Structure 1
Amino acid sequence: MTIYVVQPGDTITSIANQYGITTNRIIVDNELTNANNLLVGQSLVIQFPEISHTVVEGDTLYGIAQTYDTTPTRLLQNNPWIADTESLIPGTIVIISFRRDENFGNIVINAYAYPYIDRTVLRKTLPFLTYLSLFTYGFTPQGDLIPIDDTELIQLARDYNVAPLMVLAPMDDNGAFSNEIAHQMFTNPEGQSRLIDNILSNVQNKNYSGVDIDFEFVLPEDKEGFISFITALKNRLEPFGYIITVALAPKTSGDQPGLLYQAHDYPRIGAIADKVLLMTYEWGYTFSSPMATAPLNSVRRVLAYGSSVIDPDKILMGMPNYAYDWPLPYVRGETRAETISNVEAINRGVQYGVTIQFDEASQAPFYYYTNSDGVEHVVWFDDARSMNAKYRLIPEFNLSGAGIWQIMNYFPGMWLVVNSLFDVSKVL
């Protein structure tokens, strides 16, 4: 894999000729919609096919995999476009393998999705996943679960050998995290016991592989109650072979102040859970001043602390899959950024003819534009360069892998990096 940054005067043809590959290879791999209007500063992943297969009448994915002694999953990782097709068309080229100059070995990837995810996006993404966490079950203080429409997604995940996880979060009627609902459950032993019974029953009946606990803004006085709940749920699920993962706020020290952090005790929760997600994103967020969502320098500080007090083989580094567009000037308490996908960030850049810049400290791309109303905007997003920088932190800190929030939009640049650097572990 080579990551090429478009320079002034470049065309898709000149870039392809430079690397001795076809223009179609670059367009297909990167899913380019602006091949004839590349942006200066845009990053492209250049892949070099080693073995390819030309589809003939009667070919199937499983048959091709068997012929070349590989797996259907590997073929889907190398050819995500197959998820868009009902059958393989004769004459189509299927890449059996790409040249891999680096391979850091196996990693675990967990990703979050809402039940309404586009099914084609999901099918394209599942080959790259170990776990699929379905967001989210709520609950009442009395222990009743508030369910989601998850039956189809659980089966789809299993069809791709991806282990589905039931996400549990204390959410209010507006879909916001509620520490009051969590508090009432922590202080109601009968309700908590009933909730754990209902979780186990749901996991068994729905064919989940475990539970992902996402309790944010837990009251500091509920710290012990939170840890006791995780312990009780773990003790109930573990004998049946189910796992527990816990999402933790991005801390850089054990005594970090703030409602988001104080009840998230890294050493104790890390010792209980099978995996923990360190939510290393949202430095740049809807109401913040414009900045990268996950600046590499900030992410690194969280991982340094986390891996010092939690077994690194339990840690999943949080990975954002979205971007923000801020109107300018930024006014604290008033300005609200628009959430967009990383693909939309490029499309918007094409619309306004921008030049993409890259911040070396945060290892993230950004650009400015002025809309038709004369309002200046700045967009911070992720591309293959920023994803490459972040994913390389996994072997640097000997982490288990990554946890992606969220996969509602397919981001080719991220999956090209993953496919080039790692093999994704499967537990089913």
Structure 2
Amino acid sequence: MIYVVKNGDTLEKISNETQIPVAKIISDNQLIYSDRLVPGQALLLLGEGETGGLGDGLIIGGYAYPFVDPPVLEEALTALSEMLVFSYGFTFEGDLVPPPQDEQWMLDRTISAGAAPWMVLTPFSSEGAFNNQLIKVLVENRELQDKLIRQMVDTVQEKGYEGVDIDFEYILPENREQYALFAGRVREKMNEYGCRVTVAVAPKSSNRQRGILVEGVDYALLGQNADAVFLMTYEWGYTYGPPMAVAPLDKVREVVEYAVTQIQPGQLILGIPNYGYDWTLPYERGITRARSIGNAEAVETASENGASIEYARISQSPWFTYRKNGMEHIVWFEDVRSITAKWELIREFGLSGARYWNLMRPFRANWLLVR
């Protein structure tokens, strides 16, 4: 089902060996340069009407902004069981703030596809960044919580949302218990209306871990107060960091191994990135800024620049280097091999499924693989 391209391979040769039509290989893998395969490239090979079924019986979710390209969302919806709208916010006065763009069209198409639409709640400031002072004011004031929760219930009923995902980041350590209790209050009220509540948490691998992202996050308490917990297992490789895999499997495994000691495995949802990064070299901390790149786009970049794709054994992630305009580049991204490895981890630990951050870029082979 997954074929790794070798030097000298052509689509005609692969088609003859597998009996999969050339046109189908091109379409399923979104090949722009069909006459120029990339050594090391992983191709998904499926017969007519066949799918991979990696997500059978499990949650398959994904986050999207209301400005997502409709065809890209619709293709993802062929595989999704839930679609999460990013995002609602709130004010210091406890008023719910809708997304800047109307999201109703997304909900309509999600419901038509047989998937569940979810509301995402974030503490974004007016500048669009996570604001832990918003969190502090909210979780320390019961009246503000009551006001916000009432408005959330009204919106859920009016719009037809079937769940709420609370994505609070940079929580102050002194607010960790209050935050978990707030999540529990949201769950208690939403469950009355048939809505589930999840919380998104930064990846951590021990209780002793330090850092602004993790010290305010108590896995055990959040597991007790939410219906499920979403592990944001990505961004090891990130915009301003040194080049590395976005979601290296060895690091993801460490997070899962710790999480299942704090939360029942069936309550856990794994995060999978639907993107990669392109860094210029040499990397200089504080100066280098990686460019975010789609997974299908990454293969196009390799093809355009005559690169060969490598596959890192420990991180279970594809990567390649290329030279353009006198500059060296390195790209880490996801392909059907790395996606398969993550779903195998989900099955191994008995997790409830996965959510993709995010659905804004096309990745047809992934949706064929998991549905």
- The answer to whether the superposition gives a TM-score over 0.5 is yes
* 8 A contact 2:51–2:369 mirrored in 1: no
- Match status 1:137 vs 2:88: yes
Secondary structure, in 3 states, of the residue corresponding to 1:128? Answer: coil
Please identify runs of 4+ aligned residues in structure 1 that moved more than 2 A.
102-105
Secondary structure, in 3 states, of the residue corresponding to 2:85? Answer: strand
- Match status 1:358 vs 2:357: no
- Match status 1:110 vs 2:109: no
2:187 alignment partner AA? K
2:317 alignment partner AA? A
Distance 1:106 1:23 in 2: 31
Q: CA deviation at 1:176?
A: 0.8
Q: CA deviation at 1:361?
A: 0.8
**Structure 2 unaligned spans of 5+:** none
* 8 A contact 1:326–1:337 mirrored in 2: yes
* 8 A contact 1:142–1:192 mirrored in 2: no
Q: 2:362 aligns with which of 390, 402, 410?
A: 410
CA displacement 1:11-43 (0-9 Å, x = unmatched): 000111111222122112222112111111111
* 8 A contact 1:141–1:192 mirrored in 2: no
2:247 alignment partner AA? A
Match of 1:39 in 2: 38
Equivalent residue pairs, number: 369
Q: 1:200 aligns with which of 143, 153, 160?
A: 153
Q: 2:141 aligns with which of 177, 182, 188?
A: 188
Q: TM-score, normalised by structure 2?
A: 0.96
2:83 alignment partner AA? L
Distance 1:105 1:45 in 2: 18
2:85 alignment partner AA? L
CA displacement 1:87-131 (0-9 Å, x = unmatched): xxxxxxxx3xx287x877411112100000011111111121111
Q: 1:129 to 1:143 in 2, by over 3 A?
A: same
Q: 2:179 aligns with which of 226, 243, 253?
A: 226
Distance 1:105 1:407 in 2: 19
CA displacement 1:312-361 (0-9 Å, x = unmatched): 11111000001100011001111110011111111111111111111111
Provide the alpha-carbon RMSD of the alignment.
1.4
Q: 2:329 aligns with which of 377, 396, 399?
A: 377
Match of 1:18 in 2: 17
Distance 1:128 1:298 in 2: 26
Distance 1:213 1:165 in 2: 10
Distance 1:116 1:302 in 2: 32
Distance 1:214 1:194 in 2: 19
Q: TM-score, normalised by structure 1?
A: 0.84
Q: 1:104 to 1:214 in 2, by over 3 A?
A: closer
Q: 2:342 aligns with which of 378, 387, 390?
A: 390
- Match status 1:3 vs 2:2: yes
**Structure 1 unaligned spans of 5+:** 50-94, 420-428
Q: Could you tell me the percent identity over the aligned residues? A: 43
